[in-house]
Amino acid sequence: MNPNPFAALIHSRKFWLAVFDALMALAVYFVSRYAPAAAEDVKFAFVTLQPVIVILILAIAWEDTKAGA
Q: Give the tens place of pLDDT for each residue, 12-56.
A: 999 999 999 999 999 999 999 999 999 999 999 999 999 999 999
Number of separate helices (H) and strands (E) present in the chain: 3, 0
Domain ranges in the chain?
Answer: 12-67
Assess whether pLDDT exceeds 60 at residue 58. Answer: yes
Instruction: State residue 20 phi and psi, 5-degree precision.
Output: -60, -40
Alpha-carbon span 12 to 69, nearest angstrom: 12
